[in-house]
Amino acid sequence: MAPFGKILLVSGLVLAGVGLLFIFADRIGWIGRLPGDIIIKRENFTFYFPLATGILISVVLTLLFWLF
């Protein structure tokens, strides 16, 4: 039962971190506007693919999980 408790604790901390990111996203203007993010705008169409942002978040989460 102890490993399940650790999984719940880590999941809760990750969700809290994502929630804080959503709350403070306006103040962190560079998230979602990194040089590797792909934005295609047309008349009635906008395509946004956050490639660099996704890689950055993946690296940060990998380092956090590796440390703990």
Answer yes or no: are the C-beta atoms of 36 and 30 closer than 8 Å: no
State pLDDT tens for residues 20-47.
Answer: 877 877 777 766 778 888 999 999 999 9
Residue 35's contacts (CB-CB under 8 Å, 6 or more residues apart) are 52
Question: What is the pLDDT at residue 55?
Answer: 92
Q: Model-level pTM greater than 0.85?
A: no
Among residues 29, 33, 63, which one has the least CA distance to residue 50?
Answer: 33
**8 vs 39: CA distance, rounded Å:** 36
